[in-house]
Structure 1
Amino acid sequence: MAEIQRRHSSEFKMNAVLLSYERKNVINTARELKIAPKLLSKWRTIYRKYKQGSFPERGKKRIYYEDSKIFESEKKLAELQLRLVILREAIKLKPQGKQALYFFIHQNKNKYPIGIMCQVLGVSTSMYNLKMQHPISKREMQVSLFKEAITSVFYEFKQYNGCVLIARELCKRGVQISEDQVTFFMKQMALKRRVKKKYKVTTDSNHKLFISPNILNRQFTTHKPSKVWVSDITYLQIERRFLYLTVIIDLFDRKIVGWNLSSTLSTNTTILPAWNMAISNRKVQEGLIFHSDRGKQYANKLFTTTLNQHKCVQSMSGKGNSIDNAVSESFFNSLKRELIYSQKTLLTPKEMRDEIFDYIENWYNKNRRHSALNYKTIDEFNTEI
């Protein structure tokens, strides 16, 4: 009768090799373990080459020990990266509750492992399976989709938009939702736009320079571009000091046609660079009304001469009356609420310049919806003319 061949476990092989090295005798160790000396010698040869990776479990490939460590490290890294991807995609759904998370897992069950998604999102796998046995109703699914869309737009626009602007943006994207619904869901998810704060007036009107009458007289709408430009200057606090932002806005479409950020309040560093940018962006029409407050930068001879050369008509607000320049004041209000006051620490000059550029050029002039334009972006407003 043929002898039945014994099958040795990975642990047995490893212990046998280590014992043979400890005893320093292959033959005696083999006899003690009741295996052939040739077999033990073979295991020792394998161990010298592969070390801890010498005897893998059945069905697994033998690899060098160093390679196995690299493999395990890469495996852990890949899993961590997968968890991070899942978290990034689902983090905005957290405020919507577990129903939204279950819906996310169900939508992505063929994309990511369900177990890992449940772990990352902090939900029970058994509860998820139970929920899937009782399908989500159409109403629950619609609410979840609404909440997901609202949250997406809210964070896409850096928490600048309130319920009205979010509702208009979603309708523009084909999501039929009312302002009341957006308000209700935002309250449920505790989504609040950034808080409005007061800021100091920096206008220095205590001078004996020429003061122009208030020709604009609070007429803040016009039917053609380059008919009325309004301008103002505000301070922005940075590390240890201030920067000064000058803007020029065309009342036709509320676009900021010129702006400049400076470290001093002279005419040469505030309004003149902003003016030069404005006239390079839009052609100046003869008779253009240029409205501002009574600050020195606007009232001095250098700037009034510049306006006269372009055949512009200068207009100035009443003393201490910010409502006369409400459009500029409104812009600074939005800027500070949506950008400046959201910063947790004071910015460096370079960081502030980068933030202001991004806010004006990429957000305000391109993507922001303006109530004065019937909640259209500036590009949409100009396209429909």
Structure 2
Amino acid sequence: MIRKTKITVSPLQKLEYAKLMVEQGYTNKQIEDMSGAGKSAVSRWKVQYQAELAGKTPKNVKALTEEQRRIQLLEAQLKQAMRDNDNLKKGCSFLHSRQSKLKMMREVKKANPGFKMSELCRVFEISCSSLYYKPIPKSVEKQAQIQLIEQAFSESHSTYGKRRIQADLLDLNCKVGVYAIASVMKKLGLIAIKPKKKHYYPNQGEEQVYAPNLLRRQFNPTTYNTHWVGDITYIKSHQGWSYLACVLDLGTKEIVGYALSSQPNAALATAALNNAIQRQRPNTQELMFHSDQGCQYSAKVFREKLKHLGIEQSMSRRGNCWDNAVMERFFRSLKTERLNRLAFTNHSAVVSVVEQYIQFYNYKRRHSAIDYKTPHQKYNELKKAA
């Protein structure tokens, strides 16, 4: 038996034979005789060449045309790159921290200078900005801001929130956002004291009007010593009850007069009014005094005092605390920010704490209603404008 000699045909020769069949009309039989190849091989070359001309890249055999061979080479390189990428990802899967990934990236870059860091960032799945990030230590300025926030909170006796603290810092030429202040307060555990829920009494009985409501909730006059409001509150001590009467200027929100006593009578209300007049020396002919309809302010002796001084009297509607809301708000602040946190042994202790708070309220405490100024600052502002 005689064996056939195996015919070896190069890819270039296959391409030439295929061109003869497709482009010049040679028959398969002619190419078989010319090449010595079998019938099926010649037929396969022709079909493959026609497919490549149509843009189809063969999968399991070498391409005949130069364009398709280039595509096959690129596909092979892409597959290899993907395998390398997968292997690299598997190899660095144990790296969890950003610093460990950056360290590995630098080692890879050192071994392969041709690699781009942007490509390595993509492989290691970290942001390119990580390459340039440097931990910023807390600056001296930041520490100073934190200390100022703590100081402002402490000096307010734990009553200031973020906005009042911001106003304090602005006076010191220190600009810090309210949310940054809130963040610092949260980290330091600085929680401003909040008021307790107030109990309101229902309206009872018929209204006996001694003076009309002339104020009509106009709580923000643009002048000082023209609109005063007054009220009385009670403070408990081990010795009994103490009563505080205050007079507040609506223009400045300042406590312009006050008096304390163990008796909540008209004499107490009159003493607070006298204290305010002595300290402020207003033109009483241009002054309105507003209060609720409590017996101290509706008493004949008090009404005659106002009439004698030429002060116009105004009273809230009965059972309507909102008609004297600013004065009520002061008492709420006094009790929330100071009195409710303390226990008093006697009347003298009450007097001492109340006087300290009024001093703080007038000269240190900031008010949102007057653009976070203190009452004394507002007084100076209005006095200068007058």
Give the TM-score category using the shorter length: 0.5 to 0.7
- Report what 2:230 is aligned to: 231
> Within 5 Å, which residues of 2 pair with 1:1-385?
137-199=136-198, 210-268=209-267, 270-282=268-280, 283-343=282-342, 345-360=343-358, 362-384=359-381, 385=384
Change (3 A) 1:154 1:139: same
What is the CA-CA distance between 1:190 and the residue it aligns to? 1.0
How many residues align? The count is 248
Change (3 A) 1:363 1:204: farther
Contact map agreement 2:203 2:319 (CA 8 A) in 1: no
SS at match of 2:266: coil
Change (3 A) 1:241 1:198: farther
Counterpart CA distance in 1 for 2:371 and 2:349 is 33
Counterpart CA distance in 1 for 2:138 and 2:168 is 22
Change (3 A) 1:378 1:312: same
SS at match of 2:284: coil
Contact map agreement 2:239 2:347 (CA 8 A) in 1: no
The one-letter code of the counterpart of 1:377 is T
Greater radius of gyration (CA): 2
Contact map agreement 1:248 1:259 (CA 8 A) in 2: yes
The one-letter code of the counterpart of 1:296 is C
Change (3 A) 1:208 1:325: closer
What is the CA-CA distance between 1:380 and the residue it aligns to? 2.1
- Report what 2:4 is aligned to: none
The one-letter code of the counterpart of 1:242 is W
TM-score by length of 2: 0.60
Counterpart CA distance in 1 for 2:202 and 2:235 is 14
The one-letter code of the counterpart of 1:223 is T
Q: What is the aligned-residue RMSD (CA, Å)?
A: 2.4
Counterpart CA distance in 2 for 1:181 and 1:217 is 40
User: C-alpha offsets along residues 81-102 of structure 1, whole Å, 9 cap, x if unaligned?
Assistant: xxxxxxxxxxxxxxxxxxxxxx
What is the CA-CA distance between 1:341 and the residue it aligns to? 1.2
TM-score by length of 1: 0.60
Contact map agreement 1:228 1:289 (CA 8 A) in 2: yes
Change (3 A) 1:204 1:340: farther
Counterpart CA distance in 2 for 1:159 and 1:318 is 35
What is the CA-CA distance between 1:300 and the residue it aligns to? 1.3
Change (3 A) 1:315 1:309: same
User: C-alpha offsets along residues 52-76 of structure 1, whole Å, 9 cap, x if unaligned?
Assistant: xxxxxxxxxxxxxxxxxxxxxxxxx
Counterpart CA distance in 2 for 1:298 and 1:192 is 38
Counterpart CA distance in 1 for 2:310 and 2:379 is 26
SS at match of 1:352: helix
Change (3 A) 1:224 1:275: same
The one-letter code of the counterpart of 1:318 is R
Counterpart CA distance in 1 for 2:356 and 2:185 is 26
- Report what 1:43 is aligned to: none
What is the CA-CA distance between 1:226 and the residue it aligns to? 1.6
- Report what 1:104 is aligned to: none
Change (3 A) 1:204 1:348: farther
**What are the ranges of 5 or more consecutive residues in structure 1 without an aligned counterpart?**
1-135
User: C-alpha offsets along residues 137-160 of structure 1, whole Å, 9 cap, x if unaligned?
Assistant: 454544332222111111122112
Q: Percent identity, please.
A: 32
What is the CA-CA distance between 1:198 and the residue it aligns to? 3.5
User: C-alpha offsets along residues 90-119 of structure 1, whole Å, 9 cap, x if unaligned?
Assistant: xxxxxxxxxxxxxxxxxxxxxxxxxxxxxx
